[in-house]
Amino acid sequence: MGNPMKIRAGLKDGVTEVKILMQHEMETGLRKDGEGKLIPAWFITEVLAQYKGKTVLDAQFGQSISKNPYLLFRFKGGAVGEKVTVSWVDNKGDKRTDEAAIA
Partner 1 sequence: MNMEVNLERRNALKAGGGLGLMALFGAVGLLSSKAALAEWNKTAFSAKTMDEALAAMGVSTAESNAIFIQLTVPEIAENGSIVPVSVTSTFPNVEQISIFVDKNPSVLAAQFNIPAGTESMVTTRVKMGQTANVVALVKADGKFYRTAKEVKVTAGGCGG
Partner 2 sequence: MTTSNLMKVMLALALATSFAAVAAEKEVSDSDRIAQYRDMISDGNPADFDEMAGEELWKTAAGPSNATLEKCDLGKGPGVVKGVYAILPKYFKDTDKVQDLESRLVTCMVTLQGFSEEELVKKPFSTEQKKSDITLLTTYVVGQSKGVKMNVSTKHPKEKEAYDLGKVIFNYRAGPYDFACSTCHATNSVRIRMQDLPNLNVKSNAQSAYTSWPAYRVSQGLTRSFQWRLNDCFRQQRFPEPKFISETTIDLTMFLAVSANGAQYAGPGLKR
Partner from partner 2, partner 1, none binding residue 23, C-beta < 5-8 Å depending on class: partner 2
DSSP 92: T
Question: 34 near 45, Cβ under 8 Å?
Answer: no
Which 44-103 residues touch partner 2, going by CB under 8 A?
A: 67-68, 70, 72
Contact 26, 13 (CB under 8 A): no
Cα angle value 101/72/57 (rounded, 5°): 75
Q: Using CA atoms, how far apart are residues 77 and 64, in angstroms rounded to an integer? A: 32
* 40 is a site residue for partner 1 (CB under 8 A): no
Residues of this chain that bind partner 1 (CB under 8 A)? 15, 26, 28, 30-32, 38-39, 45-48, 50, 53-67, 69-77, 83, 85, 87-89, 92-93, 95, 97
Residues of this chain that bind partner 2 (CB under 8 A)? 3-4, 6, 19, 21, 23, 67-68, 70, 72
